[in-house]
Chains A and B, each alone.
Chain A
Amino acid sequence: MTEDPRALLRADDLRLAFGSTPALDGASVAVERGEIVALMGPSGSGKSTLLHCLAGVLRPDHGEVWWEGRRLDTLPERRRSAIRLERFGFVFQFGDLVPELTLRENILLPLRLLRAPRADFQRADDLLDRLELVEVASRRAAEVSGGQAQRAAVARALVHRPGVVFADEPTGALDSVTGEIVLTTLVQLARDHGSSIIIVTHDHRVAAHADREIVIRDGRTTAEVIA
């Protein structure tokens, strides 16, 4: 295995089985700082499992995950959880905001959990402004449209300036126009902050926003298409 100093996040030969069903069967990925990568493959190919291993949510049975030059997969859950909170951002298919909180409170959540200085709270308002959410900022997450909730989810994922954003089918539940807005904003903001993004998608139009795509089939990464 060669050490790639540019790689922000790297996984080598990951294998993971759920019972007797192999989900990952030799998946390797290297993501550079600021790079946007699409993870593509048919349903059940292991895309989301790979994403969860990269994010330190799941532990592979075999193989290694490295984050900023440190081994991630062998860390105890408490340490992995701290890294996830501090250095990672997440966008899921259905926003997954806290429904009882307002959009602004949802976006502030990572900063509050990190006990960030109040001066940083301004970032939430900047993001609300940039994502055209100011008018609905004080509405509860359960009371806004899917597109607004997803834009808030993008803001929440980026508010603490993470090193990498993990996005699992981030536009899968949206119509194409709304999806396009959400995606363009996510990519634009990540580029501005120098954050990397790993997007799981089965949609080539979504993948076309990335710098490069990684294809996974039957739990194996098969091809890296460089832009």
Chain B
Amino acid sequence: MSISRTLLGLLENEPSYGYTLKHRYDELFARTKTLAFGQVYATLGRLERDGYAEVVGVETGEGPERRRYAITTEGVAELDTWIRTPEPATAFAQSTLFVKTTLALLSGRPPREVLDAQRGVHLARMRELTKARTRADDIDRLAVDYEIAHLDADLRWIEEASERLEHRDRAKNKGNRP
């Protein structure tokens, strides 16, 4: 995901300090990993260099100066293009789970163990999200439902792959019988 375009999107709401942006980002999007302050300031610097954001105020005090950023007209146009451009559909086609299962299969390790272990982890997370869902507000609900839908897709693949491998093993066992 593009952090620079996401920060630009948050900046469109109102001019903000890096500190505020980081917290808003974490609140909305950082489900697993929060944003580092260094990354926020470096990104804001690049947005300013590219003409998408500008400094509209500097606050000096005891610590380092605080720069307040606003989105520019070019920034709004760029953000608009980014939001309206669909993501490539292949974004989800490669996952570590798929790679591990394939490698297990190629190396003679039991792939079913990989799949079974993952399904346990996925289901535990899904249970957690299903509980969280009942007390979620609209924005949280979007995030929770998005994650549930993706876990569900993975789980369906896990079931299908397990069944396919089981059929294959059964056919192989039948073939080996004298």
Q: Which residues of A contact B (CB under 8 A)?
A: 42, 184, 204-205, 207-211, 213, 217, 223, 225, 227
A42–B123 Cα distance when bound, in Å, is 16
Contact B116 A208 (CB under 8 A): no
Q: A184-B134, A204-B155 are in contact. List 12 more A-B contacts (CB 8 A).
A: A42-B163, A204-B151, A204-B156, A205-B152, A208-B123, A208-B126, A208-B129, A209-B130, A225-B119, A225-B123, A225-B124, A227-B127
A223–B148 Cα distance when bound, in Å, is 22
Answer yes or no: B27 CB below 8 A from chain A CBs.
Answer: no
The B129-178 residues at the A interface (CB cut-off 8 A) are 129-130, 134, 148, 151-152, 155-156, 159, 163, 166
A217–B112 Cα distance when bound, in Å, is 13
Q: Which residues of B contact A (CB under 8 A)?
A: 116, 119-120, 122-124, 126-127, 129-130, 134, 148, 151-152, 155-156, 159, 163, 166
Contact B155 A227 (CB under 8 A): no
Say what secondary structure dominates the interface of chain A.
mixed
Closest to B121 in A: A225
Closest to B126 in A: A208
Return chain A residues, CB-CB under 8 Å to B148. 205, 208
Decide: A205 near B126, CB < 8 A? Known: A184-B134, A223-B116, A225-B120.
Answer: yes
Contact B124 A217 (CB under 8 A): no
A211–B123 Cα distance when bound, in Å, is 10
Q: Can you list 20 A-B pairs with a CB-CB distance of less than 8 A?
A: A204-B122, A204-B123, A204-B151, A204-B155, A205-B130, A207-B123, A208-B123, A208-B129, A208-B130, A209-B127, A209-B130, A210-B127, A211-B127, A223-B116, A223-B120, A225-B119, A225-B120, A225-B123, A225-B124, A227-B124
Return chain A residues, CB-CB under 8 Å to B119. 225
* Most A C-beta atoms less than 10 A away, residue of B122, B130, B148, B151: B130
Question: Would you list the 5 A-B pairs with minimal beta carbon distance, nearest first?
Answer: A208-B126, A208-B130, A204-B155, A225-B120, A208-B127
A180 to chain B minimum Cβ distance, whole angstroms, is 9
Closest to A202 in B: B159
A204–B126 Cα distance when bound, in Å, is 8
A120–B22 Cα distance when bound, in Å, is 57
Closest to B156 in A: A204
A204–B119 Cα distance when bound, in Å, is 10
A222–B169 Cα distance when bound, in Å, is 17
Closest to B155 in A: A204
B158 to chain A minimum Cβ distance, whole angstroms, is 9
Return chain A residues, CB-CB under 8 Å to B155. 204
Contact A213 B130 (CB under 8 A): no
Return chain A residues, CB-CB under 8 Å to B130. 205, 208-209
A18–B54 Cα distance when bound, in Å, is 75
Return chain B residues, CB-CB under 8 Å to A209. 127, 130
Return chain B residues, CB-CB under 8 Å to A208. 123, 126-127, 129-130, 148
Closest to B163 in A: A42
Return chain A residues, CB-CB under 8 Å to B116. 223
* Most A C-beta atoms less than 10 A away, residue of B116, B127, B163: B127
Partner of A42, one of B129, B151, B159: B159
Decide: A217 near B166, CB < 8 A? Known: A184-B134, A208-B148, A225-B120.
Answer: yes
Contact B163 A204 (CB under 8 A): no
Return chain B residues, CB-CB under 8 Å to A223. 116, 120
